[in-house]
Structure 1
Amino acid sequence: MDVMEKPLMSVRHFHKQFGTGCVHCKAGRTEDLVGNCCPHCGTVYACRDLNFDLYDGEILGVVGESGSGKSTMMRCLYFDQEASSGSATIRTYKDGRANLFTESSQQQRFIRNTVLGMVYQNPYLGLKMNFSSIGNIAEKLIAAGGRNVAQMENRGVTLLDRVNIPAHRRKDEPKTFSGGMQQRVQIAKALSNNPPVLLLDEVTTGLDLSVQANVLDLIKQIQRESGVSMIVVSHDLAVIRMLADRTIVMLEGRIIEQGLTDQIMEDPQHPYTQQLVYSLL
């Protein structure tokens, strides 16, 4: 990767809290917090001053234990939750000059439908379970302005083939599918409008190991073929090691380490990262 290359996506000083804060925690003294929570007022500082970049064709891994803030970060990037402060920009949207967090709700819907794709841990959040599989893809295309039925059907067929959904099941509802198949339909739906950035949040959690391997292989294959940039969140370092070019390690709402995945695996610096890596050995 050219060090002079301009990032596709940049996040700066991103902050998300639940609660209004009090005189103890508003001062920003981390010693007043228990983990990322204020013991006086109960405010949770889920994400604290996050800064990172995503480059063209890159898979950026985000790893951390439950409660580290990684999924909250993803929900804010996809506008499922509102960021408390900070900025996020994407080079292909308004030449990277607009802060996605402060755009209007109408513009944020446009960004969700055309610039970003999201694959949730729980397929029920990403799919309409009573629509057919191909109908789920059509819904995403219509939300982005698609009107040509034949083109939408062709696109749906192409994507479902790509994620290995059998032809005879295209009209079936995802609620009749296995967990692995539901995740593959979610991936197809997320890719429907060729977004430059794909967000994947714990997409293999709860799946059998063999199914996990198939989903991970599919993600790598799609990234190779399409060049889409991805942010992949997991609590499982083995998943991150398989997928990610670079990795961010989060703990209690902060980024405690980031770098090339190989470097982090071979020479972790932070005690928490060391603990994660050594648990794999």
Structure 2
Amino acid sequence: MMVEQPILSVRNLSKQYGEGCLHCQQSNPKLEKNYCPVCKTVYACRDISFDLYRGEILGIVGESGSGKSTFMKSLYFDENVTTGEGYLQDYKDGKVNIFTESSQMKRQIRNMLLGMVYQNPILGLKMDFSSLSNIAEKQIAAGNRHVGNMEARSYDLLQHVNIPLHRSKEAPKNFSGGMQQRIQIAKALSNNPPLLLLDEVTTGLDLSVQADVLDLIKSIQREFNISMIVVSHDLAVIRMLADRTIVMLNGEIIEHGLTDQVLEDPQHSYTQQLVYSLL
């Protein structure tokens, strides 16, 4: 019997800001949340481990400062991890730690195998370039040099995310927040990545626009069978999208499991507080 291999395995990922000291590097350090009161080191992520399977959506939930966005930036190489291992099945058969690869190889992984949708579209889009150019930029980075193919792919994706084609040559700065997020999604999909990372993509959007963006994400996942990691502080978003959920607090995973299980029968007191605050 063949055992399904995870598309992404992460083991003991940690990210700290500061050198650390004897006080905070002992086996059971007394931190103030994720902060060392002695040397001022911040432990944004501590020993994060999980597996993600093909076609699965993994939700990550937690309050501001819990480490979830730092974790996503680490996966997309916007931040260098302090320690830890990561293995992508589509990169060297999942046998090489992506976090220890060279900057050049990390760029290749990012361009070929990952898509990212940021909470703030300014981080993911060039606001003065046309929507078409933004999508083409990702394709060029992934090695596409055929202008006709790039243009056709860009138009197809804009249609897919419900951006009117007559506005394809407009700059994203002229669009609403919801449209900017949809352009980011189109750009992230342009290189056919097996893994899509979405960081608080509905924050700040009107409720009706949030619903449109969430419906779009769900339809993309069904159509392309793409794996996703979705970060949100909004449990309603996680409930709608995620197959499994990780709960983070002070840089650590405090609970994980099937989304229904975590939200219907939370075990950790913090998760209980999160869930019951919505009731």
User: How would you bin the TM-score normalised by the shorter chain?
Assistant: over 0.9
Displacement after TM superposition at 1:29 (Å) = 2.1
Partner residue, 2:122: 124
1:17-49 deviations in Å (ceiling 9; x for gaps): 00001110011423x100010001110001000
- Counterpart code for 2:177: G
- Counterpart among 29, 37, 40 of residue 39 in structure 1: 37
1:214-261 deviations in Å (ceiling 9; x for gaps): 100100000000000000000111110010000000000000000000
Structure 2 Cα separation of the partners of residues 138 and 194 of structure 1: 13
**Alignment of 1:263 onto 2:261:** yes
Partner residue, 2:222: 224
- Counterpart code for 1:24: H
Structure 1 Cα separation of the partners of residues 250 and 227 of structure 2: 26
Structure 1 Cα separation of the partners of residues 11 and 242 of structure 2: 21
Partner residue, 2:12: 13
- Counterpart code for 2:174: T
Structure 1 Cα separation of the partners of residues 173 and 254 of structure 2: 39
Contact 1:238 1:280 in 2 (8 A): no
Structure 1 Cα separation of the partners of residues 2 and 69 of structure 2: 28
Pairwise CA RMSD of aligned residues?
Answer: 1.1
TM-score by length of 2: 0.98
TM-score by length of 1: 0.98
Structure 2 Cα separation of the partners of residues 24 and 234 of structure 1: 32
Partner residue, 1:211: 209
Matched position secondary structure for 2:277 = helix
Q: How does 1:231-270 map to 2 (within 5 A)?
A: 231-270=229-268
Matched position secondary structure for 1:108 = helix
Displacement after TM superposition at 1:3 (Å) = 9.9
Partner residue, 2:155: 157
User: Cα distance 1:193–1:257, how it changes in 2: closer, same or farther (>3 A)?
Assistant: same
Gap regions ≥5 residues in structure 2: none
Question: Would you identify which runs of 4 or more consecutive aligned residues in structure 1 move more than 3 Å?
Answer: none
1:49-89 deviations in Å (ceiling 9; x for gaps): 01101101000000000000000000000000100000111
Structure 2 Cα separation of the partners of residues 41 and 123 of structure 1: 35
- Counterpart code for 1:167: L
User: Cα distance 1:207–1:152, how it changes in 2: closer, same or farther (>3 A)?
Assistant: same
Structure 2 Cα separation of the partners of residues 6 and 124 of structure 1: 35
Partner residue, 1:100: 98
Matched position secondary structure for 2:267 = coil
Structure 1 Cα separation of the partners of residues 251 and 142 of structure 2: 33
Structure 2 Cα separation of the partners of residues 23 and 107 of structure 1: 35
Displacement after TM superposition at 1:15 (Å) = 0.5
1:100-141 deviations in Å (ceiling 9; x for gaps): 110110000001111000000000000011110010011111
Structure 1 Cα separation of the partners of residues 140 and 48 of structure 2: 34
Partner residue, 2:26: 27
Q: How does 1:270-281 map to 2 (within 5 A)?
A: 270-281=268-279
Structure 2 Cα separation of the partners of residues 89 and 70 of structure 1: 19
Q: How does 1:58-77 map to 2 (within 5 A)?
A: 58-77=56-75
Structure 2 Cα separation of the partners of residues 182 and 65 of structure 1: 25
- Counterpart code for 1:27: Q
Identity %, equivalent residues:
71
Point out the more displaced range, 80-89 or 2-11: 2-11
- Counterpart among 129, 137, 140 of residue 138 in structure 2: 140
- Counterpart code for 1:138: A
Matched position secondary structure for 2:79 = coil
- Counterpart code for 2:16: Q
